[in-house]
Amino acid sequence: MNLLIRNGRVIDPANGLDAPAEVLILDGRVSRVGPRLEVPAETPSVDAGGRVVAPGFMDIHVHLREPGQEYKETIATGTRAAAAGGFAAIACMANTQPVNDTRAVTDYITAQARAEGVVRVYPIGAVTRGLGGRELAELGELAEAGCVAYSDDGRPVMSSALLRRALEYAQAFGKPIVSHAEDATLADGGVMHEGFVSTDLGLRGIPAAAEEIMVARDIALAELTGHRVHIAHVSTAAAVRLLRDARARGVPVTGEVTPHHLLLTDETLRSYDANAKMAPPLRGKRDVEACREALADGTLDAIATDHAPHALADKEVELDQAANGIVGLETAVALCLTHLVRERVLDLGTLIARLTVGPARILDLPGGSLTPGAPGDVTILDLDREHVIDPGRFYSRARNTPFRGWRCVGAPWMTIVGGRVVMAEGVVERGPSR
Protein backbone atom coordinates (compact mmCIF):
# COMPACT_ATOMS: atom_id res chain seq x y z
CA MET A 1 0.00 0.00 0.00
CA ASN A 2 1.19 3.52 -0.83
CA LEU A 3 0.23 6.55 1.22
CA LEU A 4 1.48 10.09 1.77
CA ILE A 5 0.74 11.68 5.14
CA ARG A 6 1.12 15.43 4.85
CA ASN A 7 0.67 18.50 7.02
CA GLY A 8 1.56 16.80 10.32
CA ARG A 9 3.85 17.38 13.29
CA VAL A 10 5.98 14.23 13.12
CA ILE A 11 7.27 12.90 16.44
CA ASP A 12 9.55 9.87 16.10
CA PRO A 13 11.52 9.38 19.34
CA ALA A 14 13.65 6.59 17.89
CA ASN A 15 15.12 9.06 15.41
CA GLY A 16 15.01 12.15 17.63
CA LEU A 17 12.51 13.86 15.32
CA ASP A 18 9.88 16.43 16.33
CA ALA A 19 9.14 18.71 13.40
CA PRO A 20 6.61 19.49 10.66
CA ALA A 21 7.13 16.87 7.96
CA GLU A 22 5.54 14.45 5.52
CA VAL A 23 5.67 10.67 5.77
CA LEU A 24 5.73 8.60 2.59
CA ILE A 25 4.79 4.92 2.72
CA LEU A 26 5.51 2.80 -0.36
CA ASP A 27 4.63 -0.88 -0.69
CA GLY A 28 3.58 -0.95 2.96
CA ARG A 29 6.87 0.35 4.35
CA VAL A 30 8.19 3.73 5.38
CA SER A 31 10.03 5.21 2.41
CA ARG A 32 10.96 8.74 3.48
CA VAL A 33 10.19 11.37 6.12
CA GLY A 34 10.82 15.04 5.42
CA PRO A 35 9.43 18.32 4.11
CA ARG A 36 7.78 18.48 0.69
CA LEU A 37 8.59 14.98 -0.49
CA GLU A 38 8.50 14.03 -4.14
CA VAL A 39 6.03 11.18 -4.50
CA PRO A 40 5.00 8.84 -7.31
CA ALA A 41 2.05 10.00 -9.38
CA GLU A 42 -1.41 9.10 -8.06
CA THR A 43 -0.15 8.30 -4.57
CA PRO A 44 -3.13 8.59 -2.20
CA SER A 45 -2.69 11.04 0.63
CA VAL A 46 -3.99 11.92 4.08
CA ASP A 47 -4.08 15.49 5.39
CA ALA A 48 -3.13 15.27 9.07
CA GLY A 49 -4.35 18.83 9.56
CA GLY A 50 -1.48 19.79 11.87
CA ARG A 51 -2.06 16.81 14.16
CA VAL A 52 0.70 14.69 15.70
CA VAL A 53 2.01 11.92 13.41
CA ALA A 54 3.86 9.13 15.25
CA PRO A 55 5.07 5.60 14.56
CA GLY A 56 2.28 3.06 15.00
CA PHE A 57 1.65 2.37 18.68
CA MET A 58 2.33 -1.11 20.09
CA ASP A 59 0.72 -2.87 23.04
CA ILE A 60 2.81 -5.84 24.09
CA HIS A 61 0.41 -7.14 26.75
CA VAL A 62 -3.06 -8.09 25.48
CA HIS A 63 -5.41 -10.99 26.18
CA LEU A 64 -7.41 -11.80 23.04
CA ARG A 65 -9.29 -14.83 24.53
CA GLU A 66 -9.45 -16.67 21.17
CA PRO A 67 -9.30 -19.62 20.96
CA GLY A 68 -11.59 -20.83 23.67
CA GLN A 69 -13.32 -17.84 25.24
CA GLU A 70 -14.77 -16.06 22.25
CA TYR A 71 -17.73 -14.92 24.36
CA LYS A 72 -15.27 -12.51 26.02
CA GLU A 73 -13.26 -11.40 22.98
CA THR A 74 -12.21 -12.60 19.56
CA ILE A 75 -9.21 -11.77 17.45
CA ALA A 76 -11.56 -9.79 15.21
CA THR A 77 -13.05 -7.70 18.04
CA GLY A 78 -9.78 -7.37 19.95
CA THR A 79 -7.85 -6.08 16.97
CA ARG A 80 -10.66 -3.67 16.11
CA ALA A 81 -10.49 -2.38 19.68
CA ALA A 82 -6.74 -1.97 19.22
CA ALA A 83 -7.18 0.00 16.01
CA ALA A 84 -9.79 2.22 17.67
CA GLY A 85 -7.34 2.90 20.47
CA GLY A 86 -4.51 3.88 18.14
CA PHE A 87 -2.54 0.62 18.30
CA ALA A 88 -1.13 -0.73 15.04
CA ALA A 89 0.36 -3.85 16.64
CA ILE A 90 -0.35 -5.99 19.69
CA ALA A 91 1.22 -9.02 21.34
CA CYS A 92 -1.23 -11.54 22.79
CA MET A 93 -0.70 -13.68 25.87
CA ALA A 94 -0.77 -17.46 25.94
CA ASN A 95 -3.62 -18.05 28.43
CA THR A 96 -6.16 -19.04 25.80
CA GLN A 97 -8.12 -22.31 25.91
CA PRO A 98 -6.29 -24.38 24.84
CA VAL A 99 -3.17 -22.63 26.05
CA ASN A 100 -0.80 -21.41 23.36
CA ASP A 101 1.86 -23.98 24.20
CA THR A 102 1.98 -25.77 20.83
CA ARG A 103 2.59 -24.89 17.21
CA ALA A 104 -1.03 -25.76 16.40
CA VAL A 105 -2.41 -23.03 18.66
CA THR A 106 0.12 -20.47 17.47
CA ASP A 107 -0.71 -21.33 13.86
CA TYR A 108 -4.41 -20.88 14.62
CA ILE A 109 -3.86 -17.44 16.17
CA THR A 110 -1.71 -16.19 13.29
CA ALA A 111 -4.14 -17.56 10.70
CA GLN A 112 -7.10 -15.90 12.41
CA ALA A 113 -5.17 -12.67 12.69
CA ARG A 114 -4.49 -12.70 8.95
CA ALA A 115 -8.11 -13.51 8.16
CA GLU A 116 -9.96 -11.37 10.72
CA GLY A 117 -7.47 -8.96 12.26
CA VAL A 118 -7.11 -5.31 11.39
CA VAL A 119 -3.78 -4.73 13.18
CA ARG A 120 -0.61 -6.79 13.50
CA VAL A 121 -0.80 -9.63 16.03
CA TYR A 122 2.31 -11.15 17.60
CA PRO A 123 1.65 -14.32 19.64
CA ILE A 124 3.43 -14.97 22.94
CA GLY A 125 3.88 -18.66 23.75
CA ALA A 126 3.62 -20.29 27.15
CA VAL A 127 6.67 -20.94 29.31
CA THR A 128 5.20 -24.15 30.73
CA ARG A 129 2.77 -26.73 29.40
CA GLY A 130 -0.78 -25.68 30.08
CA LEU A 131 0.57 -22.83 32.26
CA GLY A 132 0.94 -25.58 34.84
CA GLY A 133 4.37 -24.51 36.07
CA ARG A 134 5.71 -28.07 36.11
CA GLU A 135 7.38 -28.73 32.75
CA LEU A 136 8.56 -26.50 29.97
CA ALA A 137 6.55 -25.99 26.81
CA GLU A 138 8.22 -26.72 23.47
CA LEU A 139 9.99 -23.38 23.36
CA GLY A 140 11.83 -24.08 20.10
CA GLU A 141 8.66 -25.15 18.32
CA LEU A 142 6.85 -22.03 19.54
CA ALA A 143 9.65 -19.79 18.30
CA GLU A 144 9.60 -21.49 14.89
CA ALA A 145 5.82 -20.98 14.73
CA GLY A 146 6.22 -17.24 15.23
CA CYS A 147 6.00 -16.59 18.98
CA VAL A 148 7.94 -13.47 19.92
CA ALA A 149 8.34 -14.22 23.65
CA TYR A 150 7.31 -16.70 26.34
CA SER A 151 5.02 -16.03 29.30
CA ASP A 152 2.63 -17.78 31.67
CA ASP A 153 1.03 -14.38 32.32
CA GLY A 154 -1.95 -14.68 34.61
CA ARG A 155 0.14 -17.07 36.68
CA PRO A 156 3.70 -16.87 37.99
CA VAL A 157 6.30 -19.54 37.28
CA MET A 158 6.81 -20.36 40.96
CA SER A 159 9.71 -22.80 40.53
CA SER A 160 12.98 -20.86 40.37
CA ALA A 161 14.77 -23.90 38.94
CA LEU A 162 12.24 -24.23 36.14
CA LEU A 163 12.41 -20.53 35.31
CA ARG A 164 16.20 -20.73 35.21
CA ARG A 165 15.96 -23.59 32.74
CA ALA A 166 13.39 -21.65 30.69
CA LEU A 167 15.76 -18.69 30.49
CA GLU A 168 18.62 -20.89 29.35
CA TYR A 169 16.48 -22.47 26.60
CA ALA A 170 14.90 -19.17 25.61
CA GLN A 171 18.34 -17.66 25.14
CA ALA A 172 19.01 -20.17 22.37
CA PHE A 173 15.97 -18.87 20.48
CA GLY A 174 16.57 -15.19 21.24
CA LYS A 175 13.17 -14.68 22.87
CA PRO A 176 12.64 -12.94 26.23
CA ILE A 177 10.65 -14.30 29.14
CA VAL A 178 7.75 -12.06 30.22
CA SER A 179 7.25 -12.52 33.95
CA HIS A 180 3.99 -12.32 35.88
CA ALA A 181 5.87 -11.46 39.07
CA GLU A 182 3.71 -12.61 41.94
CA ASP A 183 4.39 -14.96 44.82
CA ALA A 184 1.20 -16.98 44.72
CA THR A 185 1.61 -18.19 48.29
CA LEU A 186 1.50 -14.61 49.55
CA ALA A 187 -1.19 -13.42 47.18
CA ASP A 188 -3.48 -16.43 47.56
CA GLY A 189 -7.04 -15.42 48.30
CA GLY A 190 -6.33 -11.71 48.25
CA VAL A 191 -8.85 -9.33 46.75
CA MET A 192 -6.97 -6.03 46.79
CA HIS A 193 -3.75 -4.33 47.87
CA GLU A 194 -2.92 -4.99 51.52
CA GLY A 195 -2.93 -1.73 53.44
CA PHE A 196 -5.07 0.78 55.28
CA VAL A 197 -7.91 0.62 52.75
CA SER A 198 -8.15 -3.18 52.76
CA THR A 199 -8.20 -3.15 56.55
CA ASP A 200 -10.84 -0.41 56.59
CA LEU A 201 -13.02 -2.35 54.13
CA GLY A 202 -12.42 -5.70 55.77
CA LEU A 203 -11.16 -7.23 52.54
CA ARG A 204 -8.28 -9.68 52.33
CA GLY A 205 -5.16 -7.99 51.04
CA ILE A 206 -2.28 -8.88 48.74
CA PRO A 207 0.99 -7.48 50.13
CA ALA A 208 3.29 -5.53 47.85
CA ALA A 209 5.95 -8.04 48.85
CA ALA A 210 4.18 -10.69 46.76
CA GLU A 211 5.35 -8.79 43.69
CA GLU A 212 8.67 -7.57 45.00
CA ILE A 213 9.96 -11.01 46.05
CA MET A 214 9.44 -12.33 42.54
CA VAL A 215 10.89 -9.27 40.84
CA ALA A 216 14.01 -9.72 42.96
CA ARG A 217 14.15 -13.41 42.06
CA ASP A 218 13.65 -12.75 38.35
CA ILE A 219 16.41 -10.16 38.36
CA ALA A 220 18.73 -12.65 40.07
CA LEU A 221 17.94 -15.28 37.44
CA ALA A 222 18.43 -12.81 34.59
CA GLU A 223 21.81 -11.96 36.09
CA LEU A 224 22.68 -15.63 36.52
CA THR A 225 21.74 -16.69 32.99
CA GLY A 226 22.51 -13.46 31.17
CA HIS A 227 19.18 -13.67 29.39
CA ARG A 228 16.40 -11.12 29.15
CA VAL A 229 13.50 -10.97 31.58
CA HIS A 230 10.67 -8.51 31.06
CA ILE A 231 8.57 -7.71 34.13
CA ALA A 232 4.91 -7.30 33.23
CA HIS A 233 2.57 -4.80 34.94
CA VAL A 234 4.98 -3.37 37.55
CA SER A 235 2.95 -1.81 40.35
CA THR A 236 5.00 -1.15 43.50
CA ALA A 237 7.62 1.39 44.54
CA ALA A 238 10.02 -1.31 45.75
CA ALA A 239 9.73 -3.22 42.46
CA VAL A 240 10.68 -0.02 40.68
CA ARG A 241 13.73 0.39 42.93
CA LEU A 242 14.79 -3.19 42.23
CA LEU A 243 14.51 -2.63 38.48
CA ARG A 244 16.39 0.65 38.62
CA ASP A 245 19.25 -0.87 40.60
CA ALA A 246 19.42 -3.93 38.32
CA ARG A 247 19.52 -1.85 35.16
CA ALA A 248 22.28 0.28 36.62
CA ARG A 249 24.31 -2.93 37.01
CA GLY A 250 23.59 -3.89 33.41
CA VAL A 251 21.23 -6.76 34.17
CA PRO A 252 19.10 -7.55 31.07
CA VAL A 253 15.74 -6.73 32.60
CA THR A 254 12.96 -4.44 31.36
CA GLY A 255 9.60 -3.39 32.72
CA GLU A 256 6.17 -2.16 31.70
CA VAL A 257 3.37 -0.39 33.55
CA THR A 258 -0.34 -0.17 32.84
CA PRO A 259 -2.41 3.03 32.62
CA HIS A 260 -4.57 1.87 35.54
CA HIS A 261 -1.54 1.50 37.80
CA LEU A 262 -0.54 5.03 36.81
CA LEU A 263 -3.94 6.63 37.38
CA LEU A 264 -5.80 4.73 40.11
CA THR A 265 -5.09 3.75 43.72
CA ASP A 266 -6.57 1.20 46.09
CA GLU A 267 -9.02 3.91 47.20
CA THR A 268 -10.95 3.06 44.00
CA LEU A 269 -12.05 -0.22 45.62
CA ARG A 270 -14.10 1.72 48.17
CA SER A 271 -16.82 1.64 45.51
CA TYR A 272 -16.78 -2.18 45.65
CA ASP A 273 -16.79 -2.02 41.84
CA ALA A 274 -15.38 -5.31 40.56
CA ASN A 275 -14.12 -3.43 37.50
CA ALA A 276 -11.37 -2.09 39.78
CA LYS A 277 -10.28 -5.59 40.81
CA MET A 278 -7.14 -6.62 39.00
CA ALA A 279 -3.86 -8.49 39.32
CA PRO A 280 -1.59 -7.01 40.44
CA PRO A 281 -4.04 -4.96 42.49
CA LEU A 282 -4.30 -1.20 42.48
CA ARG A 283 -1.69 0.05 44.95
CA GLY A 284 -1.22 3.08 47.17
CA LYS A 285 -0.44 6.66 46.18
CA ARG A 286 3.29 6.25 46.87
CA ASP A 287 3.45 3.31 44.48
CA VAL A 288 1.62 5.24 41.77
CA GLU A 289 4.05 8.13 42.10
CA ALA A 290 7.03 5.76 41.90
CA CYS A 291 5.70 4.13 38.73
CA ARG A 292 5.13 7.55 37.16
CA GLU A 293 8.69 8.62 37.96
CA ALA A 294 10.07 5.35 36.59
CA LEU A 295 8.15 5.77 33.35
CA ALA A 296 9.50 9.28 32.95
CA ASP A 297 13.13 8.38 33.64
CA GLY A 298 13.08 5.22 31.49
CA THR A 299 13.34 2.63 34.26
CA LEU A 300 10.01 1.41 32.92
CA ASP A 301 10.36 1.01 29.17
CA ALA A 302 6.78 0.73 28.03
CA ILE A 303 3.12 1.35 28.71
CA ALA A 304 1.06 -1.80 28.17
CA THR A 305 -2.66 -2.15 28.76
CA ASP A 306 -2.95 -5.74 30.05
CA HIS A 307 -6.24 -5.67 28.11
CA ALA A 308 -8.29 -8.36 29.90
CA PRO A 309 -11.85 -8.61 28.55
CA HIS A 310 -14.48 -10.37 30.65
CA ALA A 311 -18.18 -11.06 30.30
CA LEU A 312 -20.64 -9.28 32.58
CA ALA A 313 -21.20 -12.50 34.50
CA ASP A 314 -17.51 -12.62 35.40
CA LYS A 315 -17.67 -9.20 37.04
CA GLU A 316 -21.19 -8.76 38.38
CA VAL A 317 -20.52 -10.92 41.44
CA GLU A 318 -19.03 -10.42 44.89
CA LEU A 319 -15.48 -9.06 44.87
CA ASP A 320 -13.84 -12.24 46.06
CA GLN A 321 -15.54 -14.15 43.24
CA ALA A 322 -14.99 -11.59 40.48
CA ALA A 323 -12.43 -12.10 37.72
CA ASN A 324 -9.33 -9.90 37.68
CA GLY A 325 -8.63 -7.39 34.96
CA ILE A 326 -10.00 -4.60 32.83
CA VAL A 327 -10.13 -3.72 29.15
CA GLY A 328 -7.64 -1.08 28.13
CA LEU A 329 -7.04 -0.90 24.39
CA GLU A 330 -9.64 1.78 23.72
CA THR A 331 -8.93 3.99 26.72
CA ALA A 332 -5.16 3.88 27.26
CA VAL A 333 -3.96 6.57 24.87
CA ALA A 334 -6.69 9.09 25.68
CA LEU A 335 -6.17 8.61 29.42
CA CYS A 336 -2.40 9.01 29.11
CA LEU A 337 -2.71 12.13 26.97
CA THR A 338 -5.13 13.63 29.48
CA HIS A 339 -3.62 12.63 32.81
CA LEU A 340 0.07 12.19 32.05
CA VAL A 341 0.87 14.69 29.30
CA ARG A 342 -1.60 17.47 30.15
CA GLU A 343 -0.74 17.13 33.84
CA ARG A 344 2.99 17.28 32.94
CA VAL A 345 3.92 13.89 34.34
CA LEU A 346 5.44 13.10 30.92
CA ASP A 347 6.18 15.19 27.88
CA LEU A 348 4.49 14.10 24.68
CA GLY A 349 7.67 12.72 23.13
CA THR A 350 8.32 10.48 26.12
CA LEU A 351 4.77 9.15 26.08
CA ILE A 352 5.12 8.31 22.38
CA ALA A 353 8.47 6.63 23.06
CA ARG A 354 6.88 4.39 25.72
CA LEU A 355 4.23 3.37 23.18
CA THR A 356 6.54 2.81 20.20
CA VAL A 357 10.28 2.27 20.38
CA GLY A 358 10.15 1.07 23.99
CA PRO A 359 7.84 -1.91 23.42
CA ALA A 360 9.45 -2.68 20.05
CA ARG A 361 12.86 -3.09 21.68
CA ILE A 362 11.55 -5.25 24.52
CA LEU A 363 10.20 -7.91 22.15
CA ASP A 364 12.48 -7.21 19.17
CA LEU A 365 9.48 -6.34 17.03
CA PRO A 366 9.69 -4.63 13.64
CA GLY A 367 8.35 -1.10 13.79
CA GLY A 368 8.28 1.41 16.59
CA SER A 369 9.95 4.03 14.40
CA LEU A 370 9.62 5.82 11.08
CA THR A 371 13.04 4.73 9.90
CA PRO A 372 13.02 4.06 6.12
CA GLY A 373 12.29 0.38 5.58
CA ALA A 374 10.27 0.02 8.78
CA PRO A 375 6.67 -1.22 8.54
CA GLY A 376 4.38 1.55 7.33
CA ASP A 377 2.51 1.79 10.62
CA VAL A 378 1.43 5.20 11.88
CA THR A 379 -0.74 6.61 14.65
CA ILE A 380 -2.09 10.14 14.28
CA LEU A 381 -3.20 11.94 17.45
CA ASP A 382 -5.73 14.72 17.87
CA LEU A 383 -4.53 16.47 21.03
CA ASP A 384 -7.63 18.66 21.31
CA ARG A 385 -10.45 16.17 20.91
CA GLU A 386 -12.71 16.22 23.98
CA HIS A 387 -14.75 13.14 24.76
CA VAL A 388 -16.18 11.04 27.57
CA ILE A 389 -15.30 7.35 27.88
CA ASP A 390 -18.40 5.36 27.01
CA PRO A 391 -18.01 1.55 27.15
CA GLY A 392 -21.17 1.25 25.10
CA ARG A 393 -19.18 2.49 22.11
CA PHE A 394 -16.27 0.04 22.51
CA TYR A 395 -15.30 -2.24 19.64
CA SER A 396 -14.18 -4.76 22.24
CA ARG A 397 -16.75 -7.39 23.13
CA ALA A 398 -16.21 -6.52 26.81
CA ARG A 399 -17.17 -3.49 28.90
CA ASN A 400 -15.19 -4.04 32.13
CA THR A 401 -13.57 -0.68 32.78
CA PRO A 402 -13.44 1.54 35.88
CA PHE A 403 -12.96 4.57 33.61
CA ARG A 404 -16.59 4.83 32.50
CA GLY A 405 -17.58 8.49 32.35
CA TRP A 406 -14.04 9.89 32.59
CA ARG A 407 -13.63 13.06 30.55
CA CYS A 408 -10.57 13.08 28.26
CA VAL A 409 -8.84 15.67 26.11
CA GLY A 410 -6.84 14.09 23.28
CA ALA A 411 -7.36 10.84 21.38
CA PRO A 412 -6.10 8.74 18.48
CA TRP A 413 -7.43 10.24 15.24
CA MET A 414 -6.16 7.69 12.73
CA THR A 415 -4.45 4.29 12.79
CA ILE A 416 -2.51 3.13 9.74
CA VAL A 417 -1.14 -0.41 9.30
CA GLY A 418 1.22 -1.11 6.40
CA GLY A 419 0.03 2.01 4.63
CA ARG A 420 -3.66 1.12 4.97
CA VAL A 421 -5.99 3.28 7.04
CA VAL A 422 -7.75 0.93 9.49
CA MET A 423 -9.24 3.61 11.78
CA ALA A 424 -10.23 7.15 10.97
CA GLU A 425 -11.88 9.53 13.44
CA GLY A 426 -12.86 6.65 15.71
CA VAL A 427 -14.38 4.48 12.98
CA VAL A 428 -12.63 1.15 12.34
CA GLU A 429 -12.66 -0.38 8.92
CA ARG A 430 -13.05 -4.08 8.36
CA GLY A 431 -10.42 -6.20 6.58
CA PRO A 432 -7.22 -8.21 6.89
CA SER A 433 -4.30 -6.61 8.68
CA ARG A 434 -1.90 -7.00 5.75
CB atoms within 10 A of CB 204: 15
Q: What is the pLDDT of residue 189?
A: 85
Q: What is the pLDDT of residue 188?
A: 87
Q: Are strands 120-123 and 87-92 parallel, antiparallel or unpaired?
A: parallel
**Distance (Å, whole) CA 188 – CA 156:** 12
Are 144 and 127 a contacting pair, CB within 8 Å? Answer: no
431 backbone dihedrals φ, ψ, rounded to 5°: 150, 170
Per-residue pLDDT of the chain (434 residues; tens, 9 = 90+): 999 999 999 999 999 999 999 999 999 999 999 999 999 999 999 999 999 999 999 999 999 999 999 999 999 999 999 999 999 999 999 999 999 999 999 999 999 999 999 999 999 999 999 999 999 999 999 999 999 999 999 999 999 999 999 999 999 999 999 999 999 999 988 999 999 999 999 999 999 999 999 999 999 999 999 999 999 999 999 999 999 999 999 999 999 999 999 999 999 999 999 999 999 999 999 999 999 999 999 999 999 999 999 999 999 998 989 999 999 999 999 999 999 999 999 999 999 999 999 999 999 999 999 999 999 999 999 999 999 999 999 999 999 999 999 999 999 999 999 999 999 999 998 765 44
Q: What is the pLDDT of residue 423?
A: 98
**Distance (Å, whole) CA 372 – CA 32:** 6
Give the residue among 94, 48, 90 at the shortest CA–CA distance from 67: 94
The HSE-up count of residue 86 (CA atoms within 13 Å, CB side) is: 27
DSSP 301: -
**Residues carrying an active site annotation:** 306
b/e for 286-298, b at 16 or more Cβ within 10 A? ebbebbbebbbee
Q: What is the pLDDT of residue 364?
A: 97
